[in-house]
Each structure stands twice: as C-alpha cells, then as structure tokens.
Amino acid sequence: MPQTGVVTRALVLGGGGVAGVAWETGLLLGLAEAGGELAADVVVGTSAGATTAAQLTSGVGLPELHRRQSDPAAQVAELVPTVSLMALLDEITARTDGLVDPADRRRAIGALALAADTPSPAARRAVIAARLAGAGWPADDLRITAVDAVSGDVRVFTAADGVDLVDAVAASCAVPGIWSPVEIEGRRYVDGGAASTNHADLAAGATAVLVLSPMQPDRAPELADEVARLRDTGADVEVVHPDEASVVAIGPDPLDPAVRTASAQAGRRQAAGLSLRWTRPGR
C-alpha cells in the first residue's frame, strides 16, 4: 500500500499513433493553461505515449511542444504507412485468435513484425530522432515500454539501462507490420502496445495516477483491469479518453500524419472541460 499522507504522482501516456501524440500534447497544454499542476514523480510512455513522455520530460515547454504538433510548418516530416491500420489489425487478430497465453500472443505479433516488409530501420530512427530534437534521458523517472519480438517479454527501458533514448522510443513506437523492429543490445523489439496500450500497471506504488489513453476502451481492453489493480492498492486513478470532438479529429487512422493539427487542437479544447483531481496544485 502507498504510504499514508505521502502523495506520489504518476502520469501514464498511452499509445495511439501520431494522432495520439498530438492529442496528448494538446490535452496537457490545455490542462496547464487551466492552472493544473503537471509535475509527476513517474512518467510511463507506451508507443505514441513514449514520444509524448520523452518530449514532456525534455525541458521544452508545452506551448512549443504543442506548436510542433499543431503548426504544419513546425511538424516533423513523418513516414506515411503503406499498410492500412484496419488491415493490420485484422491480420493480428487472425494470427492471435485462439491463443490464450498473453506471451504466445506477443510472440505471434513479434513474428508478424519480423517477417514484414517495412521501411528501413535507419529511416524510421531518423523520424524518431527528429521528434525528440536531441533530447536525452531526463532526471525524471521516465519508463518506456517495448516487447521483445522473439521471446514476447515486456521490457521497460529507463535511464539506468544506458540505452539511447531515441532507440528506446523507436522500439516502443515500432508498430508490428508497419515499422521495423528495433535492435537493442542484440535483441529486436516492437511496440509496447503489443502487450498493453497503456501499461498503467507500471504506475504501481503511486498514490495518484492520471492515464491519458488516446485509444477508446474497446481498443484498450486491458486498461480496466490495470486500473482496478491500481485502485486495489489504494491509488486514486483517473483516466481520460478522447471526447467526441477529439474522436472526430483523430479519425479512423491515428497513424495518418495529416490529422496531427486537428488532434492537437481538439485535445487542447477537451482539457478546458475537464476537472481532474490529479492536476490540482499543491495536491
């Protein structure tokens, strides 16, 4: 159980494509503009959330981070997927149907990723490096998730590992079947979302947890159980998904770079209607 009277705050940033990065950034800026306290003791990032988390802890202010998402002139040039997201999800479902063991499911997804014809790892890494604009591991407790494509094991990268932050984020963002697995220390890793869209469990031990999940509950079915387990420890957990306007802005394909401006603006507007315990100053 968390220590009585001591508030430790965790921010969990989930996956959801380039649209998810934009929406999370807009939401965070909107919360800050409303006077919210955003300092966290732990920041957990998965897939898109790994990008947002690395940017948020880089020391660059939220107004500038939001400009990089909302202003087309400031946006990083992204690779455009040649595979339909819906087609990919259908293939993943077909490959994992009937697999009960989560590790077996992750290995099946990893096998798909290893066999796929994808853009060069160097080209993809360059995109991630441009997103982070030279940022390194922060002093903050930043946790980045990925999945070993062969073993199916979940790996949580931190500053203590000595792994380049660009590589850790690239691994977490390596959508199976769309982007190439990322090699780190002789192992190949894919998107942390292959195990969990949010990995809220990594906030265990915090007394106050805010989860920003760009994916709706039906696309992140494991989140309900993760939140329940956190609450069983006494944690105060709040979850924010895109509202109706944000869902429209994000559209059917969150991997489409063209929706970044609308998604960032929608997230910022959505924040104006939120009242979160997690962001209360002096909590």
Check residue 5 and give its pLDDT: 52
**Helix, strand, coil in percent for the chain, rounding step 5:** 45, 15, 40
**Which among 47, 196, 213, 246 is annotated as catalytic?**
47
d(CA 22, CA 62): 12
* Residue 103 domain-assigned (yes or no): no
Neighbours of 102 (CB within 10 A): 15
17 phi and psi angles, rounded to 5 deg: 70, -175
Give the separation between CA 146 and CA 190, rounded to whole angstroms: 6
pTM (2 decimals)? 0.96
148 found inside a domain: yes
Vertex 223 angle, CA 222 and 227, to 5° = 125
pLDDT of residue 2: 40
Q: Return per-residue pLDDT of the chain as tens, 283 residues.
A: 344 456 699 999 999 999 999 999 999 999 999 999 999 999 999 999 999 999 999 999 999 999 999 999 999 999 999 888 888 888 999 999 999 999 999 999 999 999 999 999 999 999 999 999 999 999 999 999 999 999 999 999 999 999 999 999 999 999 999 999 999 999 999 999 999 999 999 999 999 999 999 999 998 999 999 999 999 999 999 999 999 999 999 999 999 999 999 999 999 999 999 999 999 987 6
Is residue 221 situated within a structural domain? yes
Tell me what pLDDT residue 1 has.
Answer: 36
Residue 4: its pLDDT value, please? 47
Q: Is residue 27 part of a domain?
A: yes
Does residue 23 fall inside a structural domain?
A: yes
Q: Which residues contact 171 (CB under 8 A, 6 or more apart)?
A: 144, 146, 157, 181, 182, 184, 189, 190, 191, 192
Instruction: Find the catalytic residue in 191, 196, 246, 256.
Output: 191
Flag whether 245 is in a domain.
yes
Domain of 74, in residue numbers: 9-81+116-272
Q: For the domain that residue 14 is a member of, what is the CATH number?
A: 3.40.1090.10
Residue 278 lies in a domain: no
For 154-171, the pLDDT digits (tens) are: 999 999 999 999 999 999
Q: What is the pLDDT of residue 6?
A: 67
State yes or no: is 263 an active-site residue.
Answer: no
* Tens digit of each residue's pLDDT (9 = 90 or more) over 239-261: 999 999 999 999 999 999 999 99
Total domains in the chain come to 1
Known catalytic residue: 47?
yes
Contact status, residue 237 vs residue 201, Cβ threshold 8 Å: no
Q: Is residue 123 part of a domain?
A: yes
Extract long-range pairs of 246-250: CB within 8 Å, 24+ residues apart.
246/23, 246/270, 247/216, 249/19, 249/23, 250/16, 250/19, 250/20, 250/23, 250/214
